[in-house]
Copies of this chain bind each other. A is one copy, B any other.
Amino acid sequence: MSVTEICENALAASAVVGQLTTAKKDQVLSDMAAAVERHRQPITEANQRDVAAARESGVAPTLVDRLTLNDRRMDGLVKAIRTVMAQPDPVGQVVKGWTRPNGLLVEQVREPLGVVAVIYEARPNVTAEVAALCLKSGNCAVLRGSSMAVETNAAIMTALSEAIALHDDVPAAAVQLIGDPSREAAVELMRAKGYVDLLVPRGGPALIDSVEQNATVPTVIDGAGNCHTYVDASADRTMATEVSVNAKTSRPSVCNAMETLLVHRDLATDWLPGVLDTFAGLGVEIRGCEAVRRVWPKAMEATEEDWGTEYLGPVLAVRVVADAEEAIAHIRRWGTFNAEGIVTSDLAVARRFAQSVNAGSVFINASTRYSDGGEFGYGVEIGVSTQKLHVRGPMGVEALTTVKNVVWGTGQTRVL
């Protein structure tokens, strides 16, 4: 099927999928989890073929690892579907409402977006997670995975389709996978205006660039994460060490990992050298401003470029600042609207930081690594928004809905 045909089918199906009851959607999700469980062997075998092909063509080991569905990950995949099932249904939620002087009752009600498309890389779990999130929120899903995972995705899709087929009143086009792994197919999806209500690209800068160049459909960008942690003079020092070390080293390759540590000057001599020793002991290379290099001479010199770099690896930029205001200004200048953190025991400083830092998520006395749909309680996430419109930070089912106005009258007509 062509991308256009897939999109047409999704649009037609969306009128039905958007009206399914919560009970029906949960039953399909339960059947999906069972079907994936039942198809464990064919999915695993398909995955082994994808992994073998990737190894043969010399794909980097980290990518091969992401592609691999071991037993634990297969369990996670089934569990993800059940976790989404357990989420509250956002559709039909009345967000607010009021009555006008003329008697008109305005209700603002959540409804599904319609057709949600996701372009993603070689993580097969995304196929099941996005399908589950879309169905729970009453949307039709159009999935476009990586060519590297083509057999795995097809095998997962077979299981999902089998579950959908158990229900006469649920259209097969509720979840569709684009078989064509070409770049042209991806661009066709980006340009399916009038069919796709939301496209979420989950991938590296090349994919984001391509979407920004080509997309005519509405998008939510899951972009860069140049995340900061500011350690205030008032911080509990043990907490400051634990939170910064966790933010940088628990998983340096992900978008919510810390890239720059900002330190109040009062901590430059007594706390900073110790924590930098800890980072160095964990294999993290330090690039510091002049004040950092004075107290910890092993640091390389940080340039402007460092403030703007998302290392996604064992490198940390460190800057000494005069106060919270300077830290806030640094973050407003260099941040990417993703996750930003502070460690402080000063209430006024905490409130000021929370109010002034215009990131998708601001963490007070907690690691930026918590910027995650699962950690927010959304079960799984469809991505992490780094834009300001529509939704910010981790996106769960609610991010896949829109709020319309329903106005109840008794025959009101408007005088000019």
Which A residues fall within an 8 A CB radius of B? Answer: 15, 18-19, 92, 98, 100, 104, 106, 109, 111, 113-114, 197-198, 212, 216, 218, 220, 236, 239, 242-243, 245-246, 250-251, 329, 332, 343, 354-356, 358-367, 369-371, 375-377, 387-394, 402-416
Question: How far, in angstroms, from A13 to B343 measured CA to CA in the complex?
Answer: 27
- Taken together, the copies of this chain in the complex come to 2
B414 in contact with A104 (CB, 8 Å): no
- Whether A361 and B407, one on each chain, are in contact in the complex, defined by CB atoms closer than 8 angstroms, is yes
Known: A411-B366, A413-B243. A114 touches B358 (CB 8 A): yes
Judge whether A405 and B243 touch: CB under 8 Å: no
Q: Are B111 and A411 in contact (CB under 8 A)?
A: no
CA distance A361 to B375 in the complex (A): 35
Docked Cα-Cα span, A402 to B337, in Å, equals 12
Contact of A332 among B15, B100, B411 (CB under 8 A): B15
A243 to B402, CA, bound (A): 27
Chain B residue nearest to A357 in the complex (CB)? B404
Q: Check B407–A364 contact: CB distance below 8 A.
A: yes
Asked if A376 contacts B405 (CB within 8 A), the reply is yes
Is B405 within 8 A of A360, CB to CB?
A: yes
A390–B367 alpha-carbon span in the complex (Å): 28
B389 pairs with A405, CB closer than 8 A: no
Establish whether residues B408 and A360, one from each chain, have CB atoms under 8 Å apart when the complex forms: no
The 12 listed contacts between A and B (C-beta, < 8 Å) are A19-B355, A106-B376, A111-B358, A360-B404, A364-B409, A366-B410, A366-B411, A367-B412, A369-B413, A375-B414, A389-B389, A390-B390
CB pair A416–B251 under 8 Å, yes or no, is: yes
CB atoms of A411 and B239 under 8 A apart: yes
Interface of A is mostly: mixed
Enumerate chain B residues within 8 angstroms of A198, measured Cβ to Cβ. Answer: 388-389
* Given A362-B404, A362-B407, A413 contacting B246 (CB threshold 8 A): yes
Interface pair A367/B413, CB less than 8 Å apart: yes
Contact A15–B388 (Cβ < 8 Å): no
Residue contact A104 to B366, C-beta cutoff 8 Å: yes
A219 to chain B, nearest CB (A): 9
- Given A356-B15, A389-B198, A411 and B218 touching (CB < 8 A)? no
When distances are taken between beta carbons in the complex, the residues of chain B under 8 Å from A332 are 15
Residues of B within 8 A of A375 (CB): 100, 104, 414
Interface centre among A109, A198, A367 (most CB of B within 10 A): A367
A325 to chain B, nearest CB (A): 10
Q: A364 contacts B406, CB within 8 Å? A: yes
Asked if A404 contacts B367 (CB within 8 A), the reply is: no
User: What 4 A-B pairs have minimum CB-CB distances, sorted nearest first?
Assistant: A366-B409, A246-B413, A239-B411, A361-B405
Which residue of chain B has the shortest Cβ distance to A387 in the bound complex? B218
Bound CA–CA A407/B354 (angstroms): 9
- The one of B329, B366, B413 that contacts A412, using a Cβ cutoff of 8 Å: B366
A365 and B409 in contact (CB under 8 A), knowing A246-B414, A377-B100, A389-B220?
A: yes
A245: B residues at CB distance < 8 A? 413
Q: How far is the CA of A280 from the CA of B364 in the complex (A)?
A: 66
A218 near B364 with CB under 8 A, answer: no
How far, in whole Å, are A111 and B212 apart by their CA atoms in the complex? 25
C-alpha spacing A109/B364, complex, angstroms:
14
Chain B residue with minimal CB distance to A101? B377
Minimum CB distance partner of A106 in chain B: B376
